[in-house]
Structure 1
Amino acid sequence: MRGKNIRKSGVLVHITSLPSKFGIGDVGYSAKNFIDLLKNSSQKLMQILPIGPTEPFFDNSPYHSVSAFAINPLFISLEKLKEEGLLESNLSDYEVVESNIVPFGEVIENKFRAFGVAFKNFKESDEFEKFCAENSFWLDDYANFTALKKRFGNKPWQEWPLEFKNRDKVALNLAKDILKDEIRFVKFLQFIAYKQLLEMKAYANENGIEIIGDLPIYVDLDSPDVWANRELFNLNEEGYPIKVAGVPPDYFNENGQLWGNPVYNWDKHKEIGFEWWIRRISHLLKFVDIVRIDHFRGFVAYYAIDAGRENAKVGDWIRVPVYEFFDAIKNHFPSMPFIAEDLGLITEDVVEVIEHYNIPNMRILQFAFDGSPENGYLPHNYKNPTVVYTGTHDHNTTVGWFKYELTEKGKEYLEKYLGKAITIQTINFDLIRLAHSSIAQFSIVPVQDVLGLDERFRVNTPGTSTGNWRFKLKFSDIDEEKFLQLKEITEVYGR
């Protein structure tokens, strides 16, 4: 990975969480202003969550995207559209009362109203046609799928008329003509999102900041990826999964987690030289510099549950051709710009793969204080390459963790470890200092921990299905004094 031996630090914040007048962060001035803030606080990394389109059905989770390649159009900056002359009206028409929660319903209504106006004002260009041609390998299926799904009342593709479900060429060509405006609109939105996200990355890189992106391991069943590539997934003749993804029961969940995504036909992926994966990673690396591979252990062996089961108690671990896969990936991406998400129960075979390819893995300080000096999340036990986090999007904020989750035994051990008394007012920077002072090459801090925000500002609680993924900063939350404190700690520890 580029910069593997250089100490760096950064901040974890999803694009949707950035301050904005329009109810949701975007890749325009929301991102630009935050990148300026990172630069001024001597940060070198900005970590974001997956960038794909989301759905209200899945609580707008970025880990339940409707496409492995498309970009969430809600990321589009209306201010940038106005600068390009595509929006003429006052942007206050699309503003939303500021809060710490993204009101997705209002945001979607407002933004798509604006997008409709911008599309009418859009004049097709050579740049647009070039974008469509270069991205046709995923864009055509995505646009066709999106238009057809709307035409068929948002039913899943398995319930479409047989000729469309099975992608009959004659039927699809006829539909392309009938739905040409709807298809063009989808491509227009992807073109704008693509351009703006590339501009965001360029601005970050120009200011010495690399973007860490996120690659979810699975895709949704009701997606163009599965509809157009049924042979790459473990499906029956009707297009429904035979086995679905999840994880087995553990200390936190006696029923395990039943994710429900279709699992891959790894034999077919191997037969075609893992081409779909190479394209997917290559596409994501246009917008980010480093890729966090979500649920890394699933690339070594995955937990498969018979479709139709109510929970994940009963399932099988199935091996993946992991070395063939990562050899192919390394052949295409020699610098291996990856981070392995290796949280949870990790077996020795997963560790061997991580070490074989020298992929940085994750260490979470919130997991470190059980009173045992052998705890692998304690900084004195790190082995590089390592990326340390105070917490992630799946954890409580550090203040919330300290208040409600850290045991008295853990607090006592933490104070001994730090050699000082800890208070609710200092805990966030105590952990930041511990992360930054460690030998880990990268140290990443959620923006809530920089700002000392409590449990009300948590992003996601795994195992729950409502109230997640809505966290958003208000402009008044940005305390520059705290970012100056972050800058001082960063420079003291040579990051």
Structure 2
Amino acid sequence: MDSSTDLFSIRRAGVLLHPTALPGAWGVLGASARRFVDFLAASGMTVWQTLPLGPTHRDLSPYQSLSAHAGNPALIDLAELVDSGLLNERELTPRGSPDRIGLIALAAERFSMGEGGSGLDRLSYQQFRADNADWLDDFCLFCALRECHNEPSWLDWPEPLKNRESGALRMFSEQESGRIERIGFEQFLFHHQWQALRAYAHARGILLFGDIPIFVAHDSADVWSHRSLFKLDDSGKPTVVAGVPPDYFSPDGQHWGNPLYHWQAMARDGYQWWLRRLESQRHLFDLIRIDHFRGFQAYWEIPAATPEPRLGYWVPGPGEHFLEACFRQLPGLPLVAENLGIISDDVEALRKRFELPGMTVMQFGFDGSPDNPHLLHNHHERDLVYTGTHDNDTTLGWYRSLDERTRHYVNSYLRTSGEGMPWPIIEAALQSVCFLAIVPMQDLLGLGTEARFNTPGTVVNNWVWQLDWNLCNDELSKHIAERVQQNRRAPER
């Protein structure tokens, strides 16, 4: 399926839903994800947008991953391994909390003995290891070290391991070879199941739309193995960290805490670390959003010793030099720029210089200014329109929280009484001239604040909302399909 050439020449509609929100007793990259693809197809939707797919820390944030390349092993559907002969039904009989690590280790042991089918063969595994060795070897070692040290930051490991002394790493690798092999096999399973899902989606006319956080977590395989590419002190601690000044999402700004890139060091080899990152994501998705695109033009740098975001300052990013390298090395790279928040003219000039689609969000349009770029009459064809994002309240929750004056403005602009919210907002997004309209699944279900997925600046009750299949009925699919068809967003499959 050739997605890159026609995605913005055809009007489409899609859904934003992170796979972790799918129900699944043994993981979701099997029957559960296929069921969601079927729901999308029945609803006339042709794009499934996710958040970043990497393995998370305990806070579950997909924007603070252990790796810029790896997949989240919690998504692997262990039930799929029964058909492959690597597990059996009895082993998947619930007995308290499932021991996922133990079951994958068992599957890995059987796989090493020559068992397995359905594409899970030694030759495919060896090819996967070879193709991804530039990040996978360090990732497996990093995760094995985390497990053996009860998951502290790599800063707290013994000095020889923290500083990657070859003798210490060799000794650890020999002692924990089984653990390291299991982690590599785990990534093989993730990528095998994801590619099977991608093929299933493509066969039904569904494109997959991914997301890359501009920054990476300090406690990640990437920072541990490439310290020279980040602004760290001699002990490995960040000297400055990422965040944003006060904006719509947070009136006090945000202190993200990610280490910032040493862009001059990255430029010396032509940004190879970033190119490898983009290439690995291109193998997973048909379209890729770059989160916080404005950071390539200028980023908010906060001294590590100062937690207040307001004390940060803007620092020039790599800009055109970086993006030219990306598109020269990876022609046709299907990128979307997340251009929300404080966006200056030079950021928009950079985005337009490389003809990258940007984002508009219906919820952001009603500040009273007729020039607001998020208002329907200011949209552009090659941009994307959203009712809301994963960082917003649901559209129904947002609407209910509005003051009376703003609610009246919304109703007047959209020529609605407000009855049936959030559908008047969804309908407006579908009517937009933007070629791609994305609606969070919670909005399609008409859910309120209780279904909000993330609240920026907080660390409690985020990323945990779960989809209820009972709400995804034929009546809803039919209603969505009618709205999609009426707004000419149903391309021929």
TM-score (normalizing by structure 2): 0.93
Alignment partner for residue 240 of structure 1, among 228, 237, 240?
237
**Counterpart-to-counterpart distance in 2, 1:414 and 1:443:** 19
CA distance in 2, matches of 1:147, 1:83: 28
2:401 matched to 1:412?
no
In structure 2, relative to structure 1, the CA distance for the partners of 1:350 and 1:265 (3 Å cut) is same
The one of 256, 266, 273 aligned to 1:259: 256
Match of 2:46 in 1: 44
Distance 1:417 1:312 in 2: 35
> Which residue is 1:19 aligned to?
23
User: In the alignment, which residue of structure 2 is the partner of 1:101?
Assistant: none
Equivalent residue for 1:315, pick from 308, 312, 315: 312
- The secondary structure found in structure 1 opposite 2:8 is coil
Q: Superposition RMSD on alpha carbons, in Å? A: 1.7
Deviations 1:100-129 (A, max 9, x none): xxxxxx5xx543343233233223512212
Q: Is the 8 A contact 1:79 1:91 kept in 2?
A: no
Q: 1:221 aligns with which of 201, 218, 221?
A: 218
Are residue 4 (structure 1) and residue 4 (structure 2) matched? no
1:481 deviates by 1.1
Instruction: Give the 3-state SS of the residue equivalent to 1:261 in structure 2.
Output: strand
- Do structure 1's residue 90 and structure 2's residue 90 form an aligned pair? yes
8 Å CA contact retained: 1:292, 1:341: yes
Counterpart of 1:313 in structure 2: which amino acid? R
Structure 2 residue aligned with 1:100: none
Quote how far apart the aligned CAs of 1:251 are: 5.8
Matched ranges for 1:78-227 at <5 A: 78-90=78-90, 93-94=93-94, 106=97, 109-123=98-112, 125-227=122-224
Task: Please state how far the C-alpha of 1:91 moved relative to its aligned partner.
Answer: 6.6
* Matching residue's letter, 1:481: E
- The CA deviation at 1:207 is 1.2
Q: Write the distance in 1 (CA, Å) between the matches of 2:426 and 2:277.
A: 34
How many Å apart are 1:383 and its aligned residue? 2.1
C-alpha contact (below 8 Å) 1:17/1:472 kept by paired residues: yes
- Distance in 2 of aligned mates of 1:474 and 1:120: 35
Aligned partner (choices 457, 461, 480) of residue 455 of structure 2: 461
Q: Deviations over 1:55-114 (max 9, x none)?
A: 21xx21111111111100011012211111111133762499xxxxxxxxx5xx543343
Please give the residue correspondences for 1:256-405 in structure 2 after superposition, counting only pairs within 5 Å: 256-404=253-401
| SS of match in other structure, 2:283 | coil
Which residue of structure 1 aligns with residue 72 of structure 2? 72
Q: Distance in 2 between matches of 1:373 and 1:91?
A: 61
Paired residue secondary structure (1:471): coil
Residues 232 and 264, structure 1, Cα contact 8 Å, conserved in 2? yes
Q: Which amino acid in the other structure matches residue 458 of structure 1?
A: R
User: Residue 212 of structure 1 aligns to a residue in which SS?
Assistant: strand
Report the TM-score when normalising by structure 1: 0.93
SS of equivalent to 1:211: strand
Question: 1-side partners of 2:369 and 2:488: how far apart?
Answer: 28
Change (3 A) 1:315 1:189: same
The answer as to whether partners of 2:282 and 2:333 remain within 8 angstroms in 1 is no
Partner of 1:102: none
Alpha-carbon distance between aligned partners in 2 of 1:131 and 1:252, rounded to the nearest angstrom: 40
1:94 and 1:114 in contact (8 A); partners too: no
Letter in 2 for 1:81: L
Decide whether the 8 Å contact of 2:8 with 2:435 is kept in 1. Answer: yes
Identity of aligned residues (%): 39
Deviation at 1:222, TM superposition (A): 1.4
Relative to structure 1, the CA distance from residue 95 to residue 408 in structure 2 (aligned partners, 3 Å threshold; closer, same or farther) is farther
Answer whether contact 1:94 1:111 (CA < 8 A) is retained. Answer: no
**SS of corresponding position for 2:294:** helix
Residues 9 and 436, structure 1, Cα contact 8 Å, conserved in 2? yes
AA partner of residue 237 (structure 1): D
- Give the direction of change, closer, same or farther, for the CA distance of 1:252–1:275 in structure 2 (3 Å limit): closer
Structure 1 counterpart SS, 2:311:
coil
Residue in structure 2 matching 1:432, options 426, 435, 444:
426
The CA deviation at 1:256 is 1.8
How far residue 372 of structure 1 moved from its aligned partner, in angstroms, is 3.0
Do 2:253 and 2:309's aligned partners in 1 also have CA atoms closer than 8 Å? yes
Task: For residue 407 of structure 1, report the CA deviation from its aligned partner.
Answer: 2.4
**Contiguous gaps of at least 5 residues in structure 2:** 115-121
- CA displacement at 1:332 relative to structure 2: 2.6
**What letter is aligned with 1:60?**
L
Distance 2:20 2:298 in 1: 32
Q: Is the CA contact (8 Å cut-off) linking 2:39 and 2:472 kept in structure 1?
A: no
